[in-house]
């Protein structure tokens, strides 16, 4: 990977905020700090520490790329979510399965800010299903306003094919309810009304948090004195400009593990391996194929909600640096002290025995005050460590699909908890800076563009060419240097039972972030 620019990657996790400065693929400096409840001060502190550590090397940084699990955590932990209303343009179709119909009840209770179904939508070939009833849309918008709900997700049948209904509905909503934020499902992707709508609704419920968080990032970068463009990393290991990412928090859902795995590949110089990323709360085990995470087979659920995202295939187990270790009988997790590790762990003067304390007591790592764990019974320490090792080894074996032995990349702040020998693993590779692999992964992210549309009455090659052009355009809009854009995935699906030639084509492209040219800065 040759990236001739200096970039800073930052990963804001539930426990730690990590930052790394890279020149091309070389790590110049890296720091690890604690995440703060307000996010901003943690990012500001990490940047300040990194710039100080790098010294003159910090000159000429052109991009800061931030990855965060903030939005996923909000959904999973059901906090900081806003209320969102749904307007679905689909009647007379799909009336029985209303928006939110497959959400977990506790999440729906927090988020549902009204459900409105109106007449309209499209057929598979872009024709109108029935004419859209604009009066119904306006009435829905007024009801949403009266309810005091300020975020709306609009979906319509076959909107990935033509967004005309959704766009017109958005116009009507903005007229009736000017303070309302509108998320269109067509902007989020693919065929599959329920899943696309779910993603749009989650996006709407996160929009307030995304605006605050993105502003926190912008402020932190500004305060650091760097003159750099701010990017937010996405699920697939690519980035979007902060201005664009602010509108689509859902695209950042899986960016944490993706960054960590891609960072590990770069740091180790190994593109095919198992990866075990031990964070504060969990260890995520995945598989790297040609430098990218292997993706999950199935529909991906986020906080219990079905989505269409392609996400890394991960097995998460309750083994992390903050995992609480119980005695008599010896237990490992599942609870963790999370971001309070710095206060609650024994070695930091707290009163909770965590796996970090076990690691310090076993001499695996120097951290905090070792004398604070001197009282632990050596037999207990040994047994607890053995149990942690057993959990990790078992899970690695479950995720491995290769019959031959492969290396395992040990990553993350809790990497010392990974055993040296694991069945089926040729070697456990601990690489330099591996504790900030996620920040490194963020820094090397590229800018992507994607289209997924149905083309009618054209040859396959033509359809792919048209899709490619659209994808390139969307990548360039997101800040990719057009000269570096290349296709990474082409998928085409002729549609069964449809007349004539109908072909669904998905093209995905990536390119390097464009340098800060004056005309591109806008």
Partner 1 sequence: MSTLARRSPSQTHRALTADDMEALAIGAWILGTGGGGDPYHKLLNMRQLYAEGRSVDLIDPMALPDDAVVAVLSNMGAPLVGQERLADPEFAVKPLRMMEEHLGRKFDAVMALEIGGGNGLHPMMVAAMTGYPVVDADTMGRAYPEAQMTSVAVAGLRCYPLTMADIRDNEIIFPRAASWRWMERISRKACTEIGSVAATCKAPRTGAEVKQHGILYSVSKAIDLGRKVAQARRAHADPIEAVLEAGHGKLLFTGKITDVERRATEGFLRGKAKLEGLGPDAGSDMVVHFQNEFSVAFKGDEPVVMTPDLICLLDTVSGEGIGTDVIRFGQRVSVLALPAPEVFLSEAGLAAVGPKAFGFDIPFKSVFEGASA
Binding site for partner 1 (CB under 8 A): 92-97, 101-102, 123-124, 129-130, 157-158, 191-194, 289, 294-295, 297-298, 401-403, 491-499, 501-504
What whole-number distance in Å separates Cα of residue 522 and Cα of residue 14?
32
Q: Is 197 helix (H, G, I), strand (E, B) or coil?
A: helix
| Cβ density class 164-177: b for 16+ within 10 Å, e for less | bbbebbbebbeebb
For the bound state, the minimum distance from the C-beta of residue 489 to partner 1, rounded and expressed in Å, comes to 9
Pairing outcome for strands 229-233 and 502-511: unpaired
For 96, list phi and psi in degrees, rounded to 5. Answer: -75, -30
- CB of residue 455 to partner 1, shortest distance in Å: 12
- Minimum CB distance to partner 1, residue 2 (Å): 27
The CB-of-196 to partner 1 minimum distance in angstroms stands at 9
Q: Looking at the chain, how many residues does it have?
A: 522
CB of 302 to partner 1, least distance (A): 17
Pair 209, 98: CB distance under 8 Å: no
The DSSP element (H or E) to which 126 belongs, if any, is: none
Q: How far is the CB of 316 from partner 1 (least distance, A)?
A: 15
Q: Are 297 and 281 in contact (CB under 8 A)?
A: no
Please, which residue, 188 or 439, has the CB nearer to partner 1?
188
Instruction: Quote the CA–CA distance of 238 and 259 in Å, as a whole number.
Output: 9
> Which residues, listed in sequence order, are joined to residue 503 by a DSSP beta bridge?
455, 494
- Of 25 and 94, CB closest to partner 1: 94
Is the CB of residue 514 less than 8 Å from the CB of residue 3? no
Contact between 272 and 406 under an 8 Å Cβ cutoff? The reply is yes
Q: How far is the CB of 401 from partner 1 (least distance, A)?
A: 6
> Least CB distance from residue 243 to partner 1, whole Å?
31
What beta strand segments (E) does 138-198 contain? 151-156, 181-184
- 3-state SS, one letter per residue, for 237-273: CEEEEHHHHCCCHHHHCCHHHHHHHHHHHHHHCCCCE
- Distance between CA 350 and CA 408 in Å, rounded? 33
- Residue closer to partner 1 (CB basis): 188 or 361: 188
Measured from the CB atom, the residue of 185 and 336 that comes closer to partner 1 is: 185
Q: Which is nearer to partner 1, 127 or 375 (CB)?
A: 127
């Amino acid at each position: 990977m040759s990236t001739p620019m200096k970039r800073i990657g930052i990963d804001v996790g539930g426990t730690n905020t990590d930052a790394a400065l890279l020149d091309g693929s070389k790590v110049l400096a890296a720091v690890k700090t604690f995440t703060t409840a307000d996010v901003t001060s943690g990012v500001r502190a990490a940047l300040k520490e990194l710039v100080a550590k790098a010294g003159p090397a910090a000159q000429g940084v052109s991009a800061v790329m931030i990855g965060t699990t903030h939005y996923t955590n909000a959904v999973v932990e059901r906090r900081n979510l806003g209320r969102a209303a749904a307007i679905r343009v689909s009647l007379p179709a799909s009336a029985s399965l209303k928006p939110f119909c497959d959400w977990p009840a506790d999440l729906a209770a927090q988020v549902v800010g009204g459900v409105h179904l109106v007449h309209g939508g499209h057929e598979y070939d872009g024709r109108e299903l029935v004419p859209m009833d604009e009066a119904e849309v306006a009435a829905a918008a007024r009801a949403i306003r009266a309810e005091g709900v300020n975020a709306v997700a609009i979906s319509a049948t076959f909107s990935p094919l033509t967004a005309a209904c959704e766009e017109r509905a958005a116009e009507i909503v903005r007229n009736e309810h000017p303070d309302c934020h509108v998320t269109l499902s067509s902007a989020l992707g693919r065929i599959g009304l329920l899943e696309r709508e779910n993603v749009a609704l989650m996006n709407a419920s996160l929009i307030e948090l995304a605006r605050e968080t993105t502003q926190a990032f912008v402020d932190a970068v500004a305060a650091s004195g760097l003159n750099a463009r701010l990017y937010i990393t996405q699920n697939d290991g690519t980035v979007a400009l902060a201005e664009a990412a602010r509108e689509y928090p859902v695209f950042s859902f899986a960016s944490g593990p993706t960054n960590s795995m891609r960072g590990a590949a770069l740091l180790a110089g190994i593109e095919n391996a198992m990866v075990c990323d031990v964070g504060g709360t969990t260890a995520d085990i995945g598989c790297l194929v040609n430098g990218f995470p292997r993706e999950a087979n199935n529909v991906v659920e986020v906080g219990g909600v079905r989505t269409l995202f392609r996400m890394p295939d991960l097995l998460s187990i309750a083994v992390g640096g903050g995992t609480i270790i119980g005695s008599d009988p010896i237990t490992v997790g599942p609870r963790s002290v999370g971001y309070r590790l710095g206060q609650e762990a024994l070695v930091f003067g707290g009163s909770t025995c965590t796996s970090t304390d076990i690691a310090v007591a076993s001499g695996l790592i120097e951290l905090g005050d070792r004398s604070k764990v001197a009282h632990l019974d050596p037999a207990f320490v040994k047994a607890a460590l053995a149990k942690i090792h057993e959990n990790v080894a078992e899970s690695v074996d479950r995720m491995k699909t290769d019959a031959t032995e492969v290396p395992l990349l040990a990553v993350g702040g809790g990497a010392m908890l990974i055993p040296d020998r694991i069945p089926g693993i040729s070697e456990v590779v601990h690489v330099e800076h591996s504790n900030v692999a996620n920040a490194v992964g963020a820094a090397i992210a590229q800018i992507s563009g994607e289209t997924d549309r149905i083309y009618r009455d054209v040859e396959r090659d033509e359809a792919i060419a048209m899709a490619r052009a659209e994808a390139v355009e969307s990548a360039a809009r997101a800040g990719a240097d057009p000269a570096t854009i290349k296709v990474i995935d082409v998928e085409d699906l002729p549609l069964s039972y449809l007349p004539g030639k109908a072909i669904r084509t998905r093209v995905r492209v990536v390119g390097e972030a464009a340098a800060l040219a004056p005309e591109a800065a806008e």
